Amino acid sequence: MSGARLGLLHTVPALAVTFDDLLKRTGHDGDIVHVVDAGLLSGAIAHGVDDEIRAEVLRHVQHLADDGADAILVTCSSIGEAVEEAAGRVDVPVLRVDATMADEAVALAVERAPADRAARVAVLATLAATLGPTGRLLESRVAGADRPVEVASRVVDGAAAARSGGDQATHDRLVGEAITAAAADADVIVLAQASMAAAAAGLDLDVPVLTSPEGGAAALLAAVRKLPA
């Protein structure tokens, strides 16, 4: 659908630029509308994805739909389950950023793992609030796999504090070290938050490291291509 209007909801302000660049590099020629609400993430960290968070996610999604978005992407994995609930309440496609990554992670792990053991997916996050939603998403994909898949998750200690303190270099170093350590045992590594993606750049590993921005952007564009002309 040429010229489609895309809506994006972020909880990390810097991701607006990341996704804007990603989408424009594909040659997308329609409007891109960004809404940023950092309070959604801080609320999810403080008290989980409760009714208040769900209502705010729906409010933002409904606003983007009413503003003419042909499809909507929410770029925060921590509120992914609220995104799925909101998707059923509006008349345009609404996507969670990590869904494509989860599908790819399980497929790749099954493909790469030796036949004599279960496939292994390592999930890394900088926030504990993200591990639950991403872990449950992966487990839902594992249930449909044609062989056993083990999912191991961990929080990269200190990375979130470094980033919130403005020390992106330390954040990236800690995440990079965790990725390298996980590569010793995993068939695939998943970075649970879009804000972690830059830390994987430049690492020379034999294990695939999956990040959500590219997959989320591709899924958003695929959704609008399926819409009636």
Q: Which residues contact 220 (CB under 8 A, 6 or more apart)?
A: 6, 8, 23, 71, 72, 73, 95
Q: Which residues pair with 6 in a beta bridge?
A: 32, 71
pLDDT of 33 higher than 80: yes
| Whether pTM exceeds 0.75 | yes
| Element holding 71 (H helix, E strand) | strand 71-74
pLDDT (0 to 100) of residue 3: 83
The identity of residue 82, as a single letter, is: A
Structure tokens at 69: 């978005």
Alpha-carbon span 133 to 88, nearest angstrom: 18
What is residue 1's predicted lDDT score, i.e. its pLDDT?
54
Average pLDDT for 77-85: 94
Domains of the chain: 6-97+214-225 (3.40.50.1860), 99-211 (3.40.50.1860)
The three-point CA angle 214-215-219 to 5° equals: 120
8 A C-beta contact, residue 60 and residue 184: no
- pLDDT tens profile 88-123: 999 999 999 999 999 999 999 999 999 999 999 999
Tell me the per-residue pLDDT of 150-208, one tens digit each, with 9 for 90 and over.
Answer: 999 999 999 999 998 999 999 999 999 999 999 999 999 999 998 898 899 889 899 99
136, HSE (Cβ side, Cα atoms, 13 Å): 10
Residue type, 114: P
